[in-house]
A and B are shown apart, each in its own frame.
Chain A
Amino acid sequence: DTEVTQTPKHLVMGMTNKKSLKCEQHMGHRAMYWYKQKAKKPPELMFVYSYEKLSINESVPSRFSPECPNSSLLNLHLHALQPEDSALYLCASQAHLAGGETQYFGPGTRLLVL
């Protein structure tokens, strides 16, 4: 099973809402990633977790808060977002952070902030 699942598929939220994105993998991977992708652009790295610890935070605003409760699950908590945060949010997993293996991507959550 090489599947990474993400929920929800679509999300519409107001600027005062709090919501969460969820990502799950059961491949035993120990590195998990959050990316943000705007239309017609490549993915931008947001956060990297390695062995459930935050390894990389690419200077992401605090209105995005990641969480890795266990080795299979990755959450992204959203609060007080801005319209410019509307994008496709992709989760990915990899066997190990520095292992050079391929990253497996989920289908993404399409987020619209009104």
Chain B
Amino acid sequence: KQEVTQIPAALSVPEGENLVLNCSFTDSAIYNLQWFRQDPGKGLTSLLLIQSSQREQTSGRLNASLDKSSGRSTLYIAASQPGDSATYLCAVTPDSNYQLIWGAGTKLIIKP
């Protein structure tokens, strides 16, 4: 059974720092992996989607990598800003049924 883990559960860093969020999964048979952002009490916004054949995706200050063999993905945020404060969730789509399997999320706080 696929399990997705995100460490740390919470992270607080000063504004301007570069940071890395981690996501690990137990079964490498995935279709893709996505990173989402969720602001308190709001819906989820898709940040990056990495297909299983890809190694990384970039969007602005965000870069996500995927290493299927080790079951790991990282989300790199460059030059963090207070507006980046949110909960970041990763989710994998297994090959078997195309339903998202979610991590518990990392709550990120960027201090001005």
Q: Give chain A's interface residues, CB within 8 Å of chain B.
A: 4, 6, 40-43, 45, 48, 56, 88, 90, 92, 97-98, 100-108, 110
Contacts and interface: CB of A to CB of B under 8 A. Distances in A.
Contacts of A107: 42-43
B32 to A, nearest CB: 5
Given A100-B98, A103-B34, 14 more contacts: A4-B43, A48-B99, A97-B98, A100-B31, A100-B32, A100-B51, A102-B46, A103-B46, A105-B43, A105-B45, A107-B43, A108-B41, A108-B42, A110-B41
Given A100-B31, A105-B44, A107-B43, A43 B102 contact: yes
Given A88-B41, A104-B46, A105-B44, A45 B32 contact: no
Contacts, number: 48
B26 to A, nearest CB: 16
Interface in B13-71: 31-32, 34, 36, 41-46, 49, 51
Contacts of A4: 43
Contacts of B102: 42-43
Between B51, B91, B99, the greatest number of chain A beta carbons within 10 A of the residue's beta carbon is seen for B99
B104 interface: yes
Contacts of A106: 43
A102 B49 contact: yes
B73 interface: no
Contacts of B79: none
A-B residue pairs, 7 tightest by C-beta: A42-B102, A105-B43, A105-B44, A107-B43, A102-B46, A98-B98, A102-B49
Contacts of A103: 34, 46, 100
A14 to B, nearest CB: 22
A20 B5 CA distance: 34
Contact of A90 (B43, B46, B105): B43
B109 interface: no
